[in-house]
Amino acid sequence: MFTVAGDHAGGRALPPRAVGFGELVALRGYLIASLALIALLLSASFFVLSQGLRELEGASRVVNLSGRQRMLVTRVDALMTRLPLSDEPGQVQRLHDELAANLAQLERVHRALIDGSTELRLVRAESRAVEAIYHELPYRLDDAMAHYLDRVGESLTSGLGARDGVLNELWALRDEVVLGLEALTKQFEREVSAGVRAVGWIGAVLFLSLLLCLVGIWHFIFRPMAHRIMREHELLRGITEHVAEGIITVDTDGRVRSANPAAAQIFGRAASAMVDHDIQALIPGLVLDDVDLSHETRGRRGDGSEIPLEVSRGTMQAAGLRLAICVVRDVSARHHAARALRMERARLETFVRHTPAAVAMFDREMRYLLCSERWRTDYGLGDRALLGHCHYDIFPEVPERWRAIHQRCLEGRVERCEEDPFIRADGTVDWVRWEIHPWFDDESVGGIIMFTEVITSRKLAEAALNLRDRAIEAASCGILITDARRADNPLVYVNPEFERITGYRASEVVGHNCRLLQAGDSDQPGVKMLREGLGGRQPVTVLLRNYRKDGSLFWNQISIAPVFDSDGELVHFVGIVTDVTERIRAEEALRESHERYRSLYNDTPVMLSSIDAEGRLVAVSDYWLRKLGYAREAVIGRPVVEFLTEASRHFYLQQALPVLLRQGSCEGVAYTLVRHDGTSLEVELSAIADVDAEGRLVRALAVMNDITDKKRTEDELRQVQKLEAIGQLTGGIAHDFNNLLAVVMGNLQLVERRVHDNERVRTNVCNALEATARGAELTRQLLAFARRQPLAPRLTNVNTLVSGMTDLLRRTLSSQIEVELRLCERIAPVMVDPVQLESALLNLAINARDAMPEGGRLLIETDNIELDARYAATHPQLNAGEFVMIGMTDTGAGIPREIQGRIFEPFFTTKPAGQGTGLGLSMLYGFVRQSMGDLQVYSERGQGATFRIYLPRASDDDQNAAVWHPGARQIGVRHGQGELILLVEDDPRVRETHVALLVELGYRVRSAEDGEQGLAVLRETPEVALLFSDVIMPGSLSGPELAEQACALRPTLPVLLTSGHPRDHLGGALGAHPFISKPFSARKLAEILSTLLDPEEGAVVESINSAQDDV
């Protein structure tokens, strides 16, 4: 049968059956009146029957409730099946609500069947079979129902009702529950059937017993019943007094009718003091109604403090009274345990969250349950919501290999890996050390706990450490480490470069102090500094003389630094050994180079200066100081522009400096500096500049050359070039004028031969011939200026020549002029035309005479002079070497400086009209230049003038050679005897005149106007006895080329060439052929033709080429 549970938690012990209140009243009735004993017995019989019937009714309710459980399970199953098929949110919500209501009802019915229920008028079942169905295999209905309810509740809470896997699991659980319920129903049906049979038998027995009871009621019933009632009363009182829960009965007025000791202890009051107390004073807010319920509330103790209570309330009828029975439990310990559990969970969550490792806890579906902050940090999750989310949704890039590892761990295995690369979605690679353990829910795996540690930094650190080790091994400097904790700081490590530098192997030096490299040479300043640094535990760098194993010296720049451990204790010294022997040598060489540079900078004969960014002088050479006349301390720090003229300063700032900054250098810039005495110095500057990224000057170095001599040379060169140009022009004019004079002179000579009887005409012709001769002399002077006059140089002693001219000079000059000779005793000979030299000296003497109308002194001097390269550099027309100087100095008025550059120009003269032609100095200049010499003039106004002629000294070959001079042999002249002469001349007038002249001289003439025609005539006319040709002609053949081809045809054919240019101008083009300059006289032509056509009676060809024209 059923009885009220004494342990709501489902204890195994069942209390004895309690005696009903009706029986107590009946027994008491027997005590009141003996007359009512039989009636009471009958009442008891009927009461027992009613109780049996009530129990049968309760059993029926149990069977009904068991069937109702099956119905509720079927309904829940149907609702769970419908839930994933519903799409409308309202319908889903209704299904959820209906499921929740059915689940609550199912759970309440299940609890009522197990533990009993006042509301449903059920008591706990005492059947062993029922107990086995609920708690033992194979059904274990209590666990199956609880698991089923929990799983359905979880599915509703987490929203997983739509998953097939969950439905399959629920159906499996449902089947287990249904099997248990079917067994329970059958068991209840069997017990009901047994109960019905028992009631029938009890009824019959009671009816018979009534009859017996009337007889033996006193002896057989009353006395045993009384004893039994007393025993049960005592038992009930013992139970109520010793049960752990407080039991309080309350009437309908809310007054406490009874309270057991446990209740008194819970409320901190005496049990008797609680009787007739208002229940609201003990349990404020307690509602007394017909609904049985169990809930938690707050109670008030006798001292006024509050305690948490769990109150299970039910109602009953007893002795005509309606009472409420309240079972009160003090749940303070449970609250403390729950709070402790919550705190423990919070501590666990805090521990996991803040653990310095990446830890995460997952369920079987790989949903996050817990994770540490380090996990979020390592995987860059930030504040992203994780709990309840699938790990694979957070990291979709997790490879299949790891998913397989997770699955193995969910099967109960433990996996770990010390180094594993993890490629993120963005392509970056992290190295991870991980370990995965399963966690268990009862006996099954509930999920996994994953511990990971991102060791990318460690891997990088290890790689860096490995790289550092390799770098130390491969370092180009020696590295050593000593143990500072041991006496004498012995070496504990040296790298290969140390071995290479010192020649010692590591095994030979480890354990020894590195002073072994000093080889006793410890008296060095660096050693003392090193000891002080080591003693003071400070980094120190020193330079030491050390010795290798083979005894050779090397300079060691060693840097030592202390190494401390985490406690600040000195543990090691690390040293860097660098062989700086080459650097020391280079520094010494550099110092020497600096000294040489400084000496070179200061002592070089060039003006050097350096300026800073502000344009101030920071260095100048000694030559710069000497040139400008300053002391060094007077110029350093001053702006360079202070030493420039105003014009140069403006040019420097506006033009030169911007170019220097833009290009970084400049060359050949002309400036005018101001010396200390205020005079100017012309310089040419070249500079280089160092500029910064913004184009601002940092420093600059300038080289300046004194170009005073250069400018003078350039002026002289320009003058020479001008005179050369004038000479070219003059020579061309003279050539053309000679051709004209040749025509005039030839025709006049022809006329003179035909007018012997006409004295008047003969006189006119003679006058014309004299004028023609003066014209020829004029052209000779022009050719002399143009350096085209024919010269006859020979070895000449200028002292002899000057001494021989003394009488001529004294006769030519005024008696008021004193002539003084200052001749070098051992004068060197020169190769010069003596006639032209005498003419030049006489010309200078005449000019000196004109410059001293009041008389004066004329000094003539000679000397041997050696002109060096420096002088030659300032006089471009000269080569360095030995010269003979002939100087002539007067004491006249001098030549103004402004006209000194023009005195050698043709036709330039300062004399009055009619007193000079202006060709004297021009002819002198041309003669000296043609003789490979130079002419210099030095004059100041009022100080006279000095002319110096420089002629090159004759070479040894010139002195040893035989020199022919005119007059060595007399030339015989004869007229022609009808020989045929081929005349080639491009100018028709000259050709006609020459033909006439040759005919007059007794020759036959064939003429041609160019070289091609002349060569053709020569081939056609073998009787030609002589070729007479102009040098310069139009066409493809010149005169010398025609002569060469004529000699090739007839090797013995004489050739005579002529030109208006002198032979020297034509150079080597003439070869060895005889030459006569235009214009020429008939006698001169006759002499040369006579010589060529009759060599036995004439002179040699060389005499022809070297003789002077005597027009």
DSSP secondary structure letters along 629-647: T--GGGTTTSBGGGGB-HH
Most confident stretch, 366-370, 764-768, 786-790, 1059-1063? 366-370
Distances (CA, A) of 379 to 47, 400, 430, 437, 795: 77, 19, 10, 20, 111
Are 434 and 450 a contacting pair, CB within 8 Å?
yes
Distances (CA, A) of 50 to 117, 199, 211: 20, 10, 19
pLDDT for the residue 1101: 44
Residue 1065, pLDDT > 60, answer no
Question: pLDDT tens, 286-329?
Answer: 887 766 677 888 888 888 888 888 888 888 776 667 888 888 88
Q: Which is higher by pLDDT, 567 or 171?
A: 567
pLDDT for the residue 917: 55
Question: For 632-637, what is the mean pLDDT?
Answer: 90
Q: Which is higher by pLDDT, 1075 or 8?
A: 1075
Q: Which alpha helices (DSSP H) does 20-140 contain, by range? A: 21-32, 37-82, 89-115, 128-135
* pLDDT confidence tier of residue 723, bands split at 50, 70 and 90: low
Biggest distance spanned by C-alpha atoms of the chain: 236
Question: For 745-761, what is the mean pLDDT?
Answer: 73
Residue 895 gets which letter from DSSP? -
* pLDDT confidence tier of residue 957, bands split at 50, 70 and 90: low
Question: For 132-138, what is the mean pLDDT?
Answer: 77
Most confident stretch, 10-19, 300-309, 599-608? 300-309
Q: How many C-beta atoms lie closer than 10 Å to residue 442's C-beta?
A: 5
pLDDT for the residue 209: 64
Question: For 134-160, what is the mean pLDDT?
Answer: 76
Query: pTM for the full model?
Result: 0.30
Strands 1055-1059, 1075-1077: pairing is: parallel
* pLDDT confidence tier of residue 260, bands split at 50, 70 and 90: confident
Q: Could you tell me which of 541, 522, 536, 877 has the C-alpha nearest to residue 720?
A: 877
Question: pLDDT tens, 585-596?
Answer: 888 888 877 777
Question: For 119-148, what is the mean pLDDT?
Answer: 73
* pLDDT confidence tier of residue 827, bands split at 50, 70 and 90: very high
Q: Which is higher by pLDDT, 127 or 614?
A: 614
Torsion of CA 969, 975, 979, 983, to 10 degrees: 80
Residue 1103, pLDDT > 60, answer no
Q: Could you tell me which of 858, 788, 676 has the C-alpha nearest to residue 1065?
A: 788
Segments of 265-341 assigned E as strands: 293-300, 306-318, 321-330
Are 694 and 743 a contacting pair, CB within 8 Å?
no
Q: Is 603 exposed, middle or buried (0-12, 13-18, 19+ CB in 10 A)?
A: exposed
Q: How many C-beta atoms lie closer than 10 Å to residue 67's C-beta?
A: 13
258-272, 767-781, 958-972: range with lowest mean pLDDT: 958-972
859-868, 1032-1041, 1070-1079: range with lowest mean pLDDT: 1070-1079
The sign of the CA dihedral 493, 495, 500, 502 is negative
Distances (CA, A) of 1005 to 480, 901, 973, 1015, 1021: 112, 51, 19, 15, 12
Per-residue tokens: 793:
């140089």
* pLDDT confidence tier of residue 776, bands split at 50, 70 and 90: low
Question: For 889-898, what is the mean pLDDT?
Answer: 83
Q: What percentage of residues in the chain have a pLDDT greater than 70?
A: 77
Long-range pairs of 901-906 with CB within 8 A, sequence gap ≥ 24 = 901/715, 901/719, 903/937, 904/719, 904/723, 904/935, 905/722, 905/723, 905/726, 906/726, 906/730, 906/782, 906/785
pLDDT for the residue 213: 61
pLDDT for the residue 438: 93
Query: How many angstroms separate the CA atoms of 650 and 641, rounded?
Result: 9
For every residue of 676-717, DSSP letters joined together read TTS-EEEEEEEEEEEE-TTS-EEEEEEEEEE-HHHHHHHHHH
Q: Is 1063 exposed, middle or buried (0-12, 13-18, 19+ CB in 10 A)?
A: buried
Are 256 and 76 a contacting pair, CB within 8 Å?
no
The helix/strand/coil state of 1018 is helix
Question: For 244-256, what is the mean pLDDT?
Answer: 85
pLDDT for the residue 1054: 92
Q: Which is higher by pLDDT, 706 or 490?
A: 490
Distances (CA, A) of 1071 to 376, 931, 957, 1031: 110, 21, 22, 12
283-292, 583-592, 826-835, 1081-1090: range with lowest mean pLDDT: 283-292
Residue 1079, pLDDT > 70, answer no
Instruction: Name the β-bridge partners of 97.
Output: none
Are 530 and 540 a contacting pair, CB within 8 Å?
yes
Instruction: Name the β-bridge partners of 362.
Output: 368, 448
Query: What crossing angle do the helices spanning 1082-1093 and 988-1000 adopt, rounded to 10°?
Result: 70
Segments of 455-538 assigned E as strands: 478-483, 491-494
Residue 705, pLDDT > 50, answer yes
Instruction: Tell whether omega for the bond before 138 is within 30 degrees of 0, i.e. cis.
Output: yes
Q: How many C-beta atoms lie closer than 10 Å to residue 130's C-beta?
A: 20
Residue 793 gets which letter from DSSP? -
Residue 1056, pLDDT > 90, answer yes
Domains, the chain, in order of start with CATH, read: 2-242 (1.20.120.30), 250-330 (3.30.450.20), 351-459 (3.30.450.20), 475-586 (3.30.450.20), 604-706 (3.30.450.20), 793-960 (3.30.565.10), 980-1106 (3.40.50.2300)
Question: For 995-1019, what is the mean pLDDT?
Answer: 90
CA atoms within 13 A on the CB side of 956: 0
* pLDDT confidence tier of residue 715, bands split at 50, 70 and 90: low
Q: Which is higher by pLDDT, 1028 or 715?
A: 1028
Sheet containing 256-259, strands listed edge to edge, beginning at the edge strand earlier in sequence: 256-259, 246-250, 321-330, 306-318, 293-300
Segments of 367-428 assigned E as strands: 368-371, 415-423
The helix/strand/coil state of 729 is helix
Question: For 1044-1053, what is the mean pLDDT?
Answer: 90
Residue 374, pLDDT > 80, answer yes
Buried b or exposed e, range 348-378, using 16+ CB within 10 angstroms: eeeebeeeeebbbbbbeebbbbbbbebbbeb
Identify the helix (H) or strand (E) that includes residue 588: helix 581-603
Query: How many angstroms separate the CA atoms of 465 and 974, rounded?
Result: 119
Query: How many angstroms separate the CA atoms of 320 and 24, rounded?
Result: 13
Residue 965, pLDDT > 50, answer no
pLDDT for the residue 537: 85
Residue 942 gets which letter from DSSP? T
Q: Which is higher by pLDDT, 395 or 1060?
A: 395
* pLDDT confidence tier of residue 829, bands split at 50, 70 and 90: very high
Residue 279, pLDDT > 60, answer yes
Residue 1096, pLDDT > 70, answer no
With vertex at residue 272, the alpha carbon angle to CA 270 and CA 275, rounded to the nearest 5 degrees, is 115
Residue 970, pLDDT > 50, answer no
Question: pLDDT tens, 419-478?
Answer: 888 776 677 788 888 899 999 887 889 899 998 888 888 888 888 888 877 877 777 788
The helix/strand/coil state of 667 is strand
Torsion of CA 290, 296, 301, 306, to 10 degrees: -140
Q: Which is higher by pLDDT, 1110 or 1068?
A: 1068
Q: Is 147 exposed, middle or buried (0-12, 13-18, 19+ CB in 10 A)?
A: middle
Give the mean pLDDT of the chain.
78
The helix/strand/coil state of 30 is helix
